[in-house]
Amino acid sequence: MNITLKPYQRAILALISIVLLSLGWLRVSGLGLLIGFVPLLVISASYDDSRRSFWRMFGWVALVMGGWTVITCWWIYYAAAVGIVAATIISILLFGGVFMIYHYFSKRAKLSLAYTALLCGWLWAEHFYLNAEISFPWLVLGNGFAGDVWAVQWYEFTGALGGSLWVLLTNILAFEWLVKRGRTRAIVALAVAVVPMVVSLVVGATYKEEGPTATVTVVQPNFDPYTEKYTLSPREQTSIMTSLMAEAPVDVDYIVLPETVIGDAGDNIWEDRLFASRSVSSFEKFRAERYPEAQIITGAMTFRRYNGPQDASPTARNSGSLWYDRYNSALALDRDSTLKVSHKSRLVVGVEKMPYMNLLKPLEKLIINLGGTTGQLGVDKYRRTFLLRNVRHPYAVQAAAPICYESVYGEHFAGFTADGAQLMMVITNDGWWHDTEGYRQHFSYSRLRAIETRRWVCRAANTGISGFISPKGEVVQSLGWDKRGTLTQQVQPLRKVTFYATWGDYLGRLGGYVFLLSLLYYVSYRMRKKNHLVK
């Protein structure tokens, strides 16, 4: 491809790429993603195969990947300044690295191989980022359509990585048409862009679910996580929460409270004697007196003690002779007079989790002496659901309560439904990011999770956005930023398990295999060419 560009033209193209890639996270439209990489592909085509050109191209790639990350995720700064720096560096190295492999291949091998490496390598990189020790998969390309759920109803078959595949294919075909023209290329590019949207409209229009309903009330207490959450006493917080819960109707089935709403400010909740906690016992007394047939699901910080170091988990902490784990948990109280516990498994790196614990273990004493910690919150090995039996339902209802960050991980979230969950209760605290795009983006991801699992999502946020999302990803009710109150909705407990919930992120795994084969094929190709076996 013979494309000549001046430096200022490359700069303009890079800025256009940043804007198009960012629109989906800035509440405009994710459809810009369908051509978001075309300007970057044009810049790549304007360079030759020299080493100097390679590093110049890397500069433009770093600018685009870094700019995209900063514009869409700058709000991380409010929670942890180092977070946005780390996220930007990883985006440049991981996703920028995949693009540079494409660039390198495009100068030395067939374009078909370069395109395959870009498409499959990107899917692999997203899948890797979803499952790595250091994980912040906020900018999975398919997440960019969270505001355009009408266009991605087929996520129940592919998950968000299906959206990423759509984006990459459309960009490659649009670029091919741009540089080579031709009616056939134009028709193919347009068809790949439009047909998934038409399919989505058909799937959305024909989707129906019928069955009994359950009544759910979500509570948004609006505690400032930097002040009130730790300055208000447990008694004051419990009083506010019970007054809000009292707004639920008498026939409510579920009352859902936010993440870590109890268990801080001096009220330690030990899992071997849960009802010794003032907050837990107050909630149970309130439930038994006011809503005996209901289940209360609440977030809590809980502790589990061990008999000694021989019984302790890898994440256990030590205080004198006491070995214990600390968990970000969801608790369920109901008429069975038992308290069920589920622990958060997808932890926020640097806040709830120290990555690569096995590598850091030998340095533990040194790090502690320097005032740091290698500890992290404990995690569940299994996804747990909560069973509710009451006189209003002919059969028991299973609900799951993914906690905060867990709603970003499609495969993990969908796994709850594969394990029997019929309702999804997302409990979260989005106040750490202040009034920014952060909490809005987080809420919008639950719209994608609803489509992927075809479940009602009942979302209770400490502050941010609480609300109800239908199995089609439509926001039925919501309570916005800096508001205290409750919402109540009739929802359907659904049993059907989607294709995506069964198979998870299979596109990422398949992409990884094909990407590896592409790398091996390139090595073989270059060796054969060096030996004059190919022209």
* Inside any domain, residue 348: yes
pLDDT value for 372: 37
Band the pLDDT of 265: cuts 50, 70, 90.
low
How buried is residue 131: exposed, middle or buried, by Cβ count under 10 Å (0-12/13-18/19+)? middle
* 223, 300: one domain: yes
pLDDT, one tens digit per residue, over 186-204 is 999 999 999 999 999 999 9
Q: Coil, helix or strand for 152?
A: coil
- What is the pLDDT at residue 332? 95
Is residue 535 a part of any domain in this protein? no
Are 225 and 195 within one domain? no
Our measurement of the distance from residue 121's CA atom to the centroid of its chain's CA atoms, rounded to an integer in Å, reads 20
State yes or no: pLDDT of 368 exceeds 90: no
Assigned domain for 2 exists: no
How confident is the model over 38-75, as pLDDT tens digits? 999 999 999 999 999 999 999 999 999 999 999 999 99
pLDDT of 354: 75
3-state SS of 397-436 is: EEEECCEHHHHHCHHHHHHHHHCCCCEEEEEECCHHHCCC
Residue 309: the pLDDT is 85
pLDDT confidence tier of residue 236, bands split at 50, 70 and 90: confident
Residues 477, 431 share a domain: yes
Q: What is the CATH number of the domain that holds 232?
A: 3.60.110.10
> What pLDDT is stored for residue 106 in this prediction?
95
Sheet holding 475-479, edge to edge: 386-388, 397-400, 423-428, 457-461, 466-469, 475-479
Looking at the whole model, is its pTM more than 0.85?
Answer: yes
pLDDT of 413 higher than 80: yes
Count up the domains in the chain and report the number: 2
Residues 296 and 147 in one domain: no
Residues 434-462 pLDDT 10s = 899 999 999 999 999 999 999 999 999 99
Would residue 1 count as lying in a domain? Answer: no
In a domain, 514, yes or no: yes
Q: What is the pLDDT of residue 310?
A: 85
Does residue 338 carry a pLDDT above 90?
no
Please give the Cα distance from 417 to 471 (Å, whole number). Answer: 13
Domain that holds residue 333: 214-495
Give Cα separations from 136 to 83, 86, 124, 140, 406 (angstroms): 10, 10, 15, 9, 11
Say whether 496 sits in a helix, a strand or coil: coil
Statement to judge: residues 277 and 398 lie in one domain: yes
407 shares its domain with 511: no
Q: Is residue 274 part of a domain?
A: yes
What's the pLDDT tens digit per position in 125-165?
A: 999 999 998 899 999 999 999 999 999 999 999 999 999 99
pLDDT surpassing 60 at residue 533: no
**Which of 446, 438, 498, 441 has the alpha carbon at shortest distance from 473?**
446
Is the same domain home to 172 and 27?
yes
Distances in Å between the alpha carbon of 202 and those of 191, 195, 277, 474? 16, 11, 51, 16
- Whether residue 174 is found in the same domain as residue 225: no
Distance CA 254, CA 425 (A): 10
What is the number of other CB atoms lying within 10 angstroms of the CB of residue 364? 14
In one letter, which amino acid is 150? W
Handedness of CA 306, 312, 317, 319 (dihedral sign): positive
Radius of gyration of the chain, Cα coordinates, nearest whole angstrom: 25
Residues 203, 75 share a domain: yes
Same domain, 186 and 269: no
Classify residue 470: in a domain, yes or no: yes
**Same domain assignment for residues 143 and 21:** yes
Domain annotation covers residue 141? yes
Q: Does the pLDDT at position 424 exceed 90?
A: yes
More confident residue, 234 or 429: 429
User: What is the pairing mode between strands 485-491 and 386-388?
Assistant: unpaired
Percent of the chain scored above 90 by pLDDT? Answer: 74
pLDDT digits (tens, 9 = 90+) for 100-117: 999 999 999 999 999 999
> Nearest CA to 492 among 375, 393, 355?
393
For residues 451 and 388, membership in a common domain is answered with yes
| Confidence class for position 221, pLDDT limits 50, 70, 90 | very high
User: To the nearest whole percent, how much of the chain has pLDDT over 70?
Assistant: 94
User: How confident is the prediction for the chain on average, in pLDDT?
Assistant: 91
How far apart are the C-alpha atoms of 47 and 59, rounded to whole Å? 12
